[in-house]
Structure 1
Amino acid sequence: MTSHVHVVLVLPRLIYLVILILLFSLLNLWKWFPRETASAPSGGAKSTLWSFNLHMGFMILAWTVFATEGVLAYATWERSSFICGQPTRHSRVKVIHASLNFICAVMTAMGLLAIFQNHAVKEIPPLCSAHSWLGIITASLTFIAALAGTVFFLLAKKLGISKDVRARVAPWHRLVGLLAYFLGLATCSLGIQEKQGFITCASGAYCLSKTLLTILVILVYALGACVAYVLSKEDRVTAGQLEREIDIFEDASEGLLP
C-alpha cells in the first residue's frame, strides 16, 4: 500500500470522530434521552416511550463508527493496523471484523426497536417515508450478511461446509456487506435530513441544531467517499486467494472459535 493511501486511512477515523462530537453536541442540546410519556392521539392511556434520540444515536454510532471500522479492518488491517501500524494476522482480522459488525447489527436492531415503539405510542404510521423503507432494506442486508458470515466462515468446519463453497460465497458476502454499509450511510443522511425538517427555529430559517445537522450530513457522505477510495486501492481478490484466506483462517483460528 502506498504512502498516500496510509494518509487516507487516517481520514475516515478523523471524520467519524468529528461526527461523534457533533452527535453528542446535538444530544446535549436536545437534553440527551429524556424519559417521555405520551398518550395516543385517539385518547388512549399514557405510555412511556423510547426517545427518538435513542434511534438517532444508535444508528449513527452503528454505521459511522462500528460498520466503518469493520469494513476498514477487513480491507486494510492485514497490511497496516489502525492500532499499531503493523500488519495484523488474518485470523485476528476476521474475528475483529465479525465483532465490529455484530455490534453494528445489535445497535441497528435496538435503533429499529426504539423508533417502532416511539411511533406505535404516537400512532404514527410505520414505513411512511423513503428513509424508513431504506432503513428496513439496510437492516435486512446487514442481518443476511451477518448470518452468512457466521454460517459459512465462523462455523463452517462444524457444519461441514467445503472450501469450494466458502470460496464461492465469499464474494457475495462482501458484496452484500458493502451494499449494506453504503446504503446505511445514505439512510443515515436521509434520516438526519428528515429530523432537520421537524426542527423549528425561533430565530427564522437558521439555528444551531439545523446547522449542525447539515454539517453532519456532509460528513457522513465524506466518510463514505473516503472508505470508497480506500477500497478502490485494494487489490482484487481472486478465487485462489480466497481459498488461501480460508485455509489460513482455519489453521490459525483453532482454539479461538467454539
Structure 2
Amino acid sequence: MTTDFTQITLIVNALRISYVVFIVILLTWFSYDKLNWFDYEKSASGDNVVSFNGHPLCMSLAWIVLMSEGIVAWRYYEGNLGLSHGLAKSIHTSLQYSAVLIMSIGLAIIFKNHGDKNINHMYSAHSWMGMFVVGAMVFQILLATYAFLFTKYERFKMRVLVWHRYGGLVIYLGGIATICMGFQEKQGWISCSDGSNYCPEKIIPAVLTVNALLVAMLASAVFIHEEDPMSTVAVGEKITLLTNAVITT
C-alpha cells in the first residue's frame, strides 16, 4: 500500500500540535491559585503531601503524548520518513515502555496523595476504569514483547498481531476516555470565587477534555489511514514487518 505523504503528514502534524497545545493548557491550568502549581498540599494533620497535580501531568504525558507518538512511530517513521524498520520498531517500543514508566509514577503520586490525606482509594468510575486500562496496557506491552522479540512461533505471532493492533487502539482510546473522566471529576471539585460556574479554573478542564478527544480522533485517523485490509497475504506481510524475516503464505 502506498501512503499519500502529504495527507498523512498533515494528520500527523495536526496530532502533534494538538498534544503540545494540550500540555501547554494543562500547565497553564496548574498555575492558577486554586490549583497551586506543584506546591506541597497539606494533610489533615498539617503535614506536607505530594501535589495531586503530578498525577494528571504524568497520565497526560503517558497517554496523550507518548502513546499517541507511538502510534505515529510504528509505520509513519518507516514508510514516510525513511527510517529503517528496526529503528522505527525500537522507537515505537521505547515510547510505549516510557509511557508505562511515567504512568506508574502518576499512579504512585495519586495513591500517596490520597493515602496521606485519608481519602479513600478507588472510589469513582474514573479510578476503576483507570486501573483497568493501565492493567490492559501493561499486559498488551508484555505480550507484544514476548511475541515479537522472544518467540519464533510465527502462527502465535500472527494471532498476537491482530490483538496488538486493534486491541492496542481500543486500550489507547479507553485511556483517553479515562483522562476525560478525570478532568470532569476534578472540575466538579472546583468552585469559582464569585460563586458562578464560569471561571478559568473550572472551564479549562472542559477545554482539556475536548482537546484530549481531538488527540484521540487524530491518532485514530493516523492508524486508519495506514491500515491495510486484513487478508491472509496481508497478515503474512505484516509479520514480515514485525520480525524482519520473510514469511511465505
Same-fold status (TM-score > 0.5): yes
From 94, 115, 120, give the equivalent of 1:125.
120
TM-score (norm 1): 0.85
Is 2:112 aligned against 1:109? no
In the TM superposition, 1:1-258 aligns within 5 A as: 1-2=3-4, 3-29=6-32, 30-39=35-44, 47-80=47-80, 86-154=81-149, 156=150, 160-203=151-194, 204-236=196-228, 238-248=234-244
Root-mean-square deviation (Å): 1.8
Cα shift readout 1:92-141 (whole Å, capped 9, x = no counterpart)? 11110111111111111111111112112222222111111110011001
Structure 1 CA distance, aligned partners of 2:91 and 2:135?
22
2:71/2:222 contact within 8 Å kept: no
The one-letter code sitting in structure 2 at the alignment partner of 1:234 is: E
- Deviation of 1:248 after TM superposition, in Å, equals 1.4
Q: How many residues align?
A: 236
1:91/1:249 contact within 8 Å kept: no
Greater Cα offset, 221-230 or 25-34: 25-34
The one-letter code sitting in structure 1 at the alignment partner of 2:170 is: L
Structure 2 CA distance, aligned partners of 1:56 and 1:247?
36
Q: Specify the alignment match of 1:256 in structure 2.
A: none
Structure 2 unmatched ranges of 5 or more: none
The one-letter code sitting in structure 1 at the alignment partner of 2:126 is: H
Structure 1 CA distance, aligned partners of 2:198 and 2:124?
24
1:79/1:87 contact within 8 Å kept: yes
- Deviation of 1:34 after TM superposition, in Å, equals 1.2
Structure 2 CA distance, aligned partners of 1:243 and 1:216?
38
- Deviation of 1:47 after TM superposition, in Å, equals 4.5
Structure 2 CA distance, aligned partners of 1:88 and 1:245?
13
Structure 1 unmatched ranges of 5 or more: 40-44, 81-85, 251-258
2:63/2:172 contact within 8 Å kept: yes
1:77/1:93 contact within 8 Å kept: yes
Measured at CA, do residues 128 and 235 of structure 1 come closer, stay the same or move farther in structure 2, by a change above 3 Å? same
Q: Secondary structure at the match of 1:52?
A: coil
TM-score (norm 2): 0.88
Measured at CA, do residues 235 and 38 of structure 1 come closer, stay the same or move farther in structure 2, by a change above 3 Å? closer
The one-letter code sitting in structure 2 at the alignment partner of 1:205 is: N
Q: Secondary structure at the match of 1:78?
A: helix
- Deviation of 1:46 after TM superposition, in Å, equals 5.3
| Percent pairwise identity | 30
Q: Secondary structure at the match of 1:161?
A: coil
Cα shift readout 1:212-249 (whole Å, capped 9, x = no counterpart)? 22111111001111111222212325221123123417
